[in-house]
């Protein structure tokens, strides 16, 4: 009830006034203050947070306690402040009370638990980029980088994770980002990607994406510092980590290194194609589908990528997806194959397996309800007609009539072009005989 809250606020206000008088007289110092553990319900209900914040000096008292030499008092104050920062409407009260500077001091010299709570507070406060400069001005960037650089010194995953979160928020300010780079942030976080703590790995990958996204100079720095190798190590099946972390690594590679072409070349040289193929073949469903999507996009980046994928054995795997239940999967597989067989070497390799051509022709049946994208399937066959062995296998297949069906049904101009190409020169009589038999 509002009346109950009013009574509680009045009592709290009285206690604050009493404590203020005690401190003024020097009877009690911060170090010997008693702190009652906050009830867990404070986290769940903003009415209790409002009751605390609305009392005039309580926030200032909490901020003052952050500077206490008593670690227990400092930790509990940081935890309460962390609860308050969870409610966006009260962040301004904390910032106006000067909370940033003491939080940074806790990061510098507080206890481990206090540092975790302080970093958690700063993650929430720096969601507003206006507070970024305040954190930087008080030395927060240096303190956070020192925490991350001290992984070998025993910092736990929670602390480094929150520190990553704050730094990721600060990256949006170009000047602060440049300072981080000068202070060695790129090499620090690439090293953290190699950590055996998955929380640290995930947060470090996220930071690298944030600092390098849209910045070609930083991308090249990430490559030079071993970033691709670190991300590929996460994909190594022998490396102990979850599929979720591997998915995050694949997405980071796709987001950062699929352009420009020099980055694609670096990916290929470090063995990314083989790693990707492994998850297309062996991955759990979610990562397999992601790997297929990434492979589809990779196939469109460069001729070098097409050649490398053909050499690795991607075409045989893509053929398997032409008959998948998902239309999106079928379409991606067909379009990727369409691009790969444009290379002469890949065409020759593809036509060596009679099953490949037979399956594509079978899926062209107008009555086939589980077909892939016919436009791309026809495109594949058009490319295959560029070599004699491909033509021969198409016209001699028992499913070659499906091309005629599509052409006669007037549903595909591409099918007409394909039929015309197959019926020229010395294939005319053979193809005509198949159609009319």
pLDDT in the model for residue 55: 52
The residue-averaged pLDDT of 353-378 equals 81
Instruction: List the end-to-end C-alpha distance of the chain, in Å, as a whole number.
Output: 88
**pLDDT, tens digit (0-9, with 9 covering 90-100), for 141-161:** 999 999 998 744 456 788 999
pTM across the whole model: 0.80
- Confidence band, pLDDT 50/70/90 cuts, at residue 35: very low
Proportion of the chain above pLDDT 70, given as a percent: 84
CATH of 1-154, one of 3.30.9.10, 3.40.50.1970, 3.40.630.30, 1.25.10.10: 1.25.10.10
Q: Is the dihedral of CA 116, 166, 62, 134 positive or negative?
A: positive
Long-range contacts: 87-94, Cβ < 8 Å, 24+?
Answer: 87/46, 87/49, 90/49, 90/50, 90/53, 91/124, 91/125, 91/128, 93/53, 93/59, 94/59, 94/63, 94/125
Peptide bond into 260 cis (omega under 30): yes
Per-residue pLDDT at 435: 47
Q: Write down the pLDDT at residue 115.
A: 93
Report the distance separating Cα 231 and Cα 218, nearest Å: 16
Closest to 222 in 3D by CA, of 188, 198, 197, 249: 188
Contact between 387 and 348 (Cβ < 8 Å): yes
Nearest residue to 316 via CA among 269, 356, 283: 356
Tell me the range of 55-64, 264-273, 407-416 where mean pLDDT is highest.
264-273
Separation in Å, CA 329 to CA 221, 333, 372: 35, 6, 8
């Amino acid at each position: 009830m509002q009346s109950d809250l009013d009574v509680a606020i009045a009592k709290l206000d009285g206690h604050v006034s009493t404590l203020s008088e005690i401190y003024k007289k020097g009877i009690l110092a911060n170090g010997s203050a008693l702190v009652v553990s906050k009830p867990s319900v404070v986290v769940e209900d903003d009415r209790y947070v409002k009751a605390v914040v609305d009392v005039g000096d309580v926030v200032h008292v909490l901020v003052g306690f952050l500077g206490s030499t008593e670690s227990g008092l400092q930790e509990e104050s940081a935890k309460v402040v962390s609860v308050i920062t969870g409610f966006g409407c009260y962040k301004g009260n904390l910032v106006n009370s000067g909370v940033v500077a003491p939080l940074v001091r806790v990061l510098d010299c507080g206890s481990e638990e206090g540092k975790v709570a302080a970093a958690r507070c700063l993650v929430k406060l720096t969601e507003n980029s206006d507070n970024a400069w305040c954190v930087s001005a008080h030395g927060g960037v240096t303190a956070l980088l020192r925490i991350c650089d001290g992984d070998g010194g025993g910092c736990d995953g929670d602390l480094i994770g929150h520190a990553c979160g704050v730094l990721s928020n600060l990256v949006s300010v170009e000047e602060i980002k440049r300072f981080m780079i000068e202070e060695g942030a790129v090499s620090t976080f690439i090293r953290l990607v190699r950590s055996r703590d998955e929380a640290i790995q995930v947060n470090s990958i996220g930071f690298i994406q944030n600092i390098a996204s849209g910045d070609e100079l930083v991308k090249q720095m990430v490559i030079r510092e071993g970033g691709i190798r670190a991300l590929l190590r996460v994909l190594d099946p022998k490396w102990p980590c979850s599929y979720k972390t591997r998915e995050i690594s694949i997405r980071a590679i796709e987001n950062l290194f699929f352009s420009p072409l020099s980055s694609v070349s670096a990916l290929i040289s470090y063995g990314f194609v083989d790693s990707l193929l492994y998850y297309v073949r062996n991955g759990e469903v979610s990562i397999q589908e992601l790997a297929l999507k990434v492979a589809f996009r990779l196939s469109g980046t460069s001729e070098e990528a097409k050649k490398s994928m053909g050499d690795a054995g991607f075409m045989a795997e893509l053929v398997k997806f032409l008959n998948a239940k998902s239309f999106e999967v079928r379409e991606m597989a067909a379009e990727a194959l369409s691009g790969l067989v444009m290379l002469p070497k890949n065409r020759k390799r593809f036509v060596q397996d009679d099953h490949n051509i037979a399956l594509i022709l079978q899926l062209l049946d107008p009555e086939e309800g589980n077909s892939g994208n016919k436009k791309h399937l026809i495109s594949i066959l058009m490319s295959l007609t560029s070599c004699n062995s491909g033509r021969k296998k198409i016209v001699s297949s028992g499913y070659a009539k499906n091309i005629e069906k599509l052409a006669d049904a007037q549903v595909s101009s591409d099918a007409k072009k394909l039929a015309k190409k197959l019926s020229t020169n010395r294939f005319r009589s053979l193809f005509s005989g198949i159609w009319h038999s």
